[in-house]
Amino acid sequence: MLLRNAVARIHPRLAVVVHDLTMVALAWWLAKLLRYTLQPNEAVLFHTLEFPLVLLVQGLILRWTGLYRSVWRFASLPDLWNILKAVIVGTVAVAAVLFVYDRLDDVPRATLVLYPALLAALLGGPRLAYRYWKDSRSERHGADDAKRVIIIGADRAGEVLSRNVQRDSSYRVVGFVDDRPSLRDAVVNGHAVLGPISNLRSLTRETAAEMLLIAMPEASTGEMRRVVALCNETDLPYRTVPRLQDVLAGRAQDNEIKEVAIEDLLGRDAVELDWVAIHAALSSRRVLVTGGGGSIGSELCRQIARLGAHSLTVVEHSEYNLYRIMQELRADFPELIVDGVLASCGDAVAMRRTFTESMPQVVFHAAAYKHVPLLQAQLRASFCNNVLATRTVADIAAATGVECFVLISTDKAVNPTSVMGACKRTAEIYCQNLDARSKTRFITVRFGNVLDSAGSVVPLFRRQIRSGGPVTVTHPEMTRYFMLIPEACQLILQAATLGTGGEIFALDMGEPVRIRDLAEQMIRLAGKKPGSEIPIVYTGLRAGEKLFEELFHPLENYSSTRHAKIFLAHHREVSWELLQTLLDKANDAVSAFDEEELRRCVSSLLPSFRWSEVAQPDNVVSIRRNEVGES
């Protein structure tokens, strides 16, 4: 049995070797025969060792070029290149060996010119013919019941995808669509370019297509939205290949066919970053990340590890989240010194011990409570975690000589109408003003929603769609800014290199998205029809919610920075003594669980924050007002 299996494995390769050596002998014989055909009076002579030497030398060269590692079924341009390389090098080697053997006696120079051309044809022709036969046989085999497919995009990705599809008898490519005028009426891999993408609906009817494959990995988000909208008009199922940045980041495999995700439509084009400055700021540095198991914190940990940090300390109060990110970091970055600390940032003793032992040079403070409706009734918990814990960590960072402290904030801190936003704004004020009294650079980075973060609307909509609906939207005109988690973290790292201390940087979030449109698009991506198959129910604004978000307060006089996607809000000073007094009173109120006193402290810190608006969420109020008394 073992012998038979071994022979079965060797046999196909042995047949290829025998074929190629036969072609070598035939090419050499034909080359000499053609040469002497021009002079019929001369006899064709072969020396005793001539054929064995040619076969030996050329056979070794064929093996050296790796020709026998390829499979005839998938013969392509790289195989032809290997053949040409083997033929040219082999001709030179054969000539050299025969010169040493008999000074090229009875080997005319024309033979050495004809031989490589003949051998290239004899080696390449059968391989291409075999592949064509297998491909056509596969197409004929599945022609009757194969699903008819149109590929959108006739570039390299589309051509490779068409070859992959052809190998599966379940599918049959009926053509391409592409907007480039240079490809009109062209043929790619044996299939016609049927027309521009704008004609997709009519072309699917004319060709009786049953499925669409989007092969545009380098398309911008705007282009993808347009293509998906045209696909939706056809009522056909559609799939796509991963975006180029996902392939480069290792999040997907090249030409892997997948469902179109909402991230493909709401993410933005790749951001140009100053990686030299970011690498210089973090490479070989000791870094600490609080909330390192959360959506933003865990991605920050990954990117910091890739940038070659000397050590990374992850502070997280969720046991499971800490376990998960530590397992991932140790598996993916075995050379990194990484330490996990299971603790709350409000635990001053634990934080002081952590900072003393790890001695971080850069701190990213991502730990926070963030769920707006839930925190409306949890003022004490929200203030404890988002304000007092931030104060604790910031004070210890200043005391232990941290060089740079980055506070991760939110657009909900601008003109806050929620408890969460008010607490984050208070944390911003504290870090801004602590900067002037410390050698540590305190920098705040403010941005909106990130797609697929824990507790965000996208996972909620997915669950509702899977269960058959309804999808719940609070208000038909509600809008939100969205960005991808990796992009948000990259811009956080970039902002950390721009700040000199005390700044609030706001990330360019692009255009706001209506939540209703987001819900409808996610329903369509799931292959359902909004309204009829999956209903959308409007539940009304919840406590603390705004119809739309802002990234700057009008009094902050924001300006541009060296990076086009990062803006600067100018510092607004608050009396340090008053700030400390109010925070001390708030801390006492937290200890006494006196929420009424705590409410008065927040009102003193943020005079523009209206508790009446928090208590009556159904009244939509203007949120573009001045924060009187805060500056």
Per-residue pLDDT tens over the stretch 472-512:
888 888 877 777 788 888 888 988 888 888 888 887 766 77
pLDDT of 620 reads 33
**Strand 536-538 with 211-214, pairing:** unpaired
Tokens of 64: 């050296």
pLDDT tens-digit series, residues 158-204: 888 887 777 766 788 888 888 888 777 777 777 888 888 888 888 88
pLDDT of 465 reads 87
CA distance 453 to 450: 6
pLDDT of 269 reads 57
Q: Where is pLDDT greater, at 621 or 110?
A: 110
Split at pLDDT 50, 70, 90, the class of 94 is confident
Positive or negative CA dihedral for 224, 225, 230, 231? positive
Nearest to 290 by CA among 386, 367, 355, 396: 367
pLDDT tens-digit series, residues 573-598: 788 999 999 999 999 999 999 999 99
Q: Where is pLDDT greater, at 486 or 571?
A: 486
Tokens of 156: 């390299």
pLDDT of 410 reads 86
pLDDT of 407 reads 95
pLDDT of 404 reads 94
**Whether residue 385 has pLDDT greater than 90:** yes
**Whether residue 466 has pLDDT greater than 60:** yes
H/E element, 575: none
Tell me which DSSP letter residue 342 carries. E
**Whether residue 354 has pLDDT greater than 70:** yes
Nearest to 267 by CA among 248, 290, 242, 230: 242
pLDDT of 312 reads 96
pLDDT tens-digit series, residues 8-65: 444 556 777 888 888 888 888 888 777 767 666 665 666 777 878 888 888 888 878 7
**Strand 536-538 with 187-188, pairing:** unpaired
pLDDT of 69 reads 60
CA distance 36 to 45: 10
Chain position carrying tokens 């392939």: 247
**Strand 404-410 with 362-365, pairing:** parallel
Q: Where is pLDDT greater, at 41 or 615?
A: 41
Mean pLDDT, range 141-164, rounded to an integer? 77
Amino acid in position 256: E
Nearest to 313 by CA among 291, 334, 296: 291
CA distance 148 to 139: 11
Tell me which DSSP letter residue 387 carries. I
pLDDT tens-digit series, residues 210-250: 888 888 887 777 788 888 889 888 888 888 877 655 655 55
Mean pLDDT, range 334-345, rounded to an integer? 94
**CATH code given to domain 275-615:** 3.40.50.720
- Note the maximum CA span of the chain: 118
User: Picking from 350-364, 385-399, 533-547, 548-562, which range would have the lowest pLDDT averaged per residue?
Assistant: 548-562
In angstroms, how far is the first alpha carbon of the chain from the final one?
86
Fold of 147-260: Rossmann fold (3.40.50)
pLDDT of 205 reads 87
* CA angle at 466 for the pair 465 and 467, rounded to the nearest 5°: 90
In angstroms, the Cα distances linking 194 to 170, 179, 182, 187, 209 are 22, 10, 13, 9, 12
Q: Where is pLDDT greater, at 564 or 245?
A: 564
Q: Where is pLDDT greater, at 266 or 556?
A: 266
Mean pLDDT, the chain, integer: 80
pLDDT of 135 reads 60
pLDDT of 190 reads 75
SS3 label, residue 572: coil
Q: Which of 106-110, 388-392, 564-568, 612-616 has the highest mean pLDDT?
A: 388-392
Split at pLDDT 50, 70, 90, the class of 566 is confident
CA distance 367 to 345: 8
CA distance 576 to 555: 20
Contact of 338 with 308, CB cutoff 8 Å: no
pLDDT of 413 reads 83
CA distance 233 to 551: 35
**Whether residue 618 has pLDDT greater than 60:** no
Phi, psi of 217 (to 5 degrees): -65, -20
**Whether residue 433 has pLDDT greater than 80:** yes
SS3 label, residue 15: helix
CA distance 391 to 427: 7
The upper half-sphere exposure of residue 133, i.e. CA atoms within 13 Å in the direction of its Cβ, equals 7
Mean pLDDT, range 544-557, rounded to an integer? 61
Mean pLDDT, range 63-71, rounded to an integer? 68
CA distance 570 to 568: 6
Nearest to 442 by CA among 363, 540, 523: 363
> In which residue ranges of the chain is CATH 3.40.50.720 found?
147-260, 275-615
Tell me which DSSP letter residue 534 carries. B
pLDDT tens-digit series, residues 111-141: 888 888 888 888 877 877 776 676 665 555 5
